[in-house]
Amino acid sequence: MAISPVLKQLLKIPVLVAALGYMVDMYDLFLFNIVRVPSLKELGLTDDDLFHKGLFILDMQMAGMLIGGILWGILGDKKGRLSVLFGSILLYSLANIANGFVTSYEQYLPLRFIAGIGLAGELGAGITLVAEILPKEIRGWGTTLVATVGVFGAILAYFVASTFDWRVSYFVGGGLGLLLLFMRVRVFESGVFLHLKNKHVKRGNFLMLFSNGTRFSKYLYSILIGTPIWFVSGVLIFFSPEFGAALGVTEPIVAGKAVMLAFAGQVAGDIVSGYLSQRFRSRKKGMFIFLLGSYSLMLVYLLAKTQSLTTFYFFCAALGFFNGYWTLFITIAAELFGTNLRATVATTVPNFVRASVIPISALFIYAKGHFGLTTGAALVGALIVGIALLALSRLEETFHKDLDYEEVDGQEPSLSPSSGFVQPTKVTEKS
């Protein structure tokens, strides 16, 4: 049976490598969430230390991702999408193998920081590459494929960690990344980027994002629309054992299982959000639906008293489902900016969102002290989702946008009279 033209485009080697790279990325990114308790206990930490020191290790990983996002993003626009795709996979693979050899909490901290730097580059480079090599009519399907395959990495991490020792789980993640590097032989660079290399245009200049108000606003709004995802992952799911106990669940909550179910839900959410963006021919409408659904499920998760372990795990999966706009929001960020800044934006935006778990968790700890665990979390969630909805309302629609243009330093984008939204000035002819 002949393969349809659309499916043939989606099965291009660069798309598949980006998807598999994100799968390994997600495996390594969430493995610590899953093995936090057993690994820290083996290293001699007491039950009282599991919360605060575990949170500090997570913060160190996210700080590494924040720094790595800037470094890999700049490199992606200066040297190419593939250099980041492979360099980041190599770094986090080696770092995660090293994580399997730690013998103390003090060793764990810097290794999770280094792993975070490596984990910061793969997704942004992959989304940028996929968005630039696919026709605009189907690039939403391409990024949905990357997201759907990628989220299976977190599910795989749960099953590996449930079957093997936590050290072996780190070795498996690092080994998968090194294996993936062998697939790079047939991967080709984005033609849009290769066309740009022949021009005398500033590439990967991070400061250009702050050189005029309109560009900075778009960048800031791109970050804010993604922060509810990491409030769910970094607070509600990460601390699921504590929330389960507070809500009256009589059996102990296994954090790894909560993570696995949340990401199983996110697989379905990624598919549905991608479908809605294609069906409505609008990225914003799909994201609006998911943001409203996310906060509704937050309230159910936090305020519905239950003694049923099954019901609690169901809420974890439902929260994960409405987290399924992760790659959709990164696609919007990539489509909002010109080729010479696209990798910088697509790589830094998700990592600023991931790093937002640091101030979000600090705000949560403050609210917890004043309002209690569940009420404090509900108030923080309302604030974060409200800001995200406001930011989404200020962004342009990008579904039909041509990506073959550049950002000009110091130049304000022009207004699109037909839509009323801000559109960057196109300064190149299509190749």
Instruction: Say if residue 428's pLDDT is above 70.
Output: no
Which residue type is seen at 222?
Answer: S
Six-digit token string for 417:
């009279």
What is the pLDDT, as a whole number, of residue 124? 81
The whole-angstrom separation of Cα 381 and Cα 393 is 18
What is the pLDDT, as a whole number, of residue 196? 60
Which of 177-181, 218-222, 358-362 is predicted most confidently?
A: 218-222
With vertex at residue 243, the alpha carbon angle to CA 241 and CA 249, rounded to the nearest 5 degrees, is 75
Question: Alpha carbon 18 to chain centroid distance?
Answer: 14
Identify the residue with better confidence: 26 or 420.
26
Q: Which CATH architecture has domain 8-181+208-423?
A: Up-down Bundle (1.20)
The whole-angstrom separation of Cα 314 and Cα 254 is 13
Check if the beta carbon of residue 218 is closer than 8 Å to that of residue 395: yes
What is the pLDDT, as a whole number, of residue 430? 36
SS (H, E, C) 133-164: HCCCCCHHHHHHHHHHHHHHHHHHHHHHHHHC
With vertex at residue 421, the alpha carbon angle to CA 416 and CA 424, rounded to the nearest 5 degrees, is 65
- Among candidate residues 148, 166, 149, the one with its CA nearest the CA of residue 157: 166
Q: Over the chain, what is the mean pLDDT? A: 84
The whole-angstrom separation of Cα 33 and Cα 158 is 10
Instruction: Say if residue 240's pLDDT is above 70.
Output: yes
What is the pLDDT, as a whole number, of residue 180? 83
Residue with tokens 């934006």, as numbered in its chain: 345
- Mean pLDDT of all residues in 216-232: 94
Q: Which of 95-109, 141-155, 311-325 has the lowest mean pLDDT?
A: 141-155
What is the pLDDT, as a whole number, of residue 315? 93
Instruction: Say if residue 3's pLDDT is above 70.
Output: no
What is the pLDDT, as a whole number, of residue 420? 35
- Mean pLDDT of all residues in 289-295: 94
What is the pLDDT, as a whole number, of residue 160? 93
- Mean pLDDT of all residues in 345-356: 87
DSSP per-residue letters across 222-290? HHHTTHHHHHIIIIIITTHHHHHHHTT-SSPP-HHHHHHHHHHHHHHHHHHHHHHHHHTT-HHHHHHHH
What is the pLDDT, as a whole number, of residue 204? 67
Check if the beta carbon of residue 344 is closer than 8 Å to that of residue 204: yes
What is the share, in percent, of the chain residues with pLDDT greater than 90? 32
The 10s digit of each residue's pLDDT in 37-89 is 889 999 988 877 887 888 888 888 888 988 998 898 888 888 877 778 788 88
- Mean pLDDT of all residues in 249-254: 87
Check if the beta carbon of residue 121 is closer than 8 Å to that of residue 34: no
Check if the beta carbon of residue 243 is closer than 8 Å to that of residue 236: yes
Which pLDDT band holds residue 188 (cuts at 50, 70, 90)? low
Per-domain residue ranges of the chain: 8-181+208-423
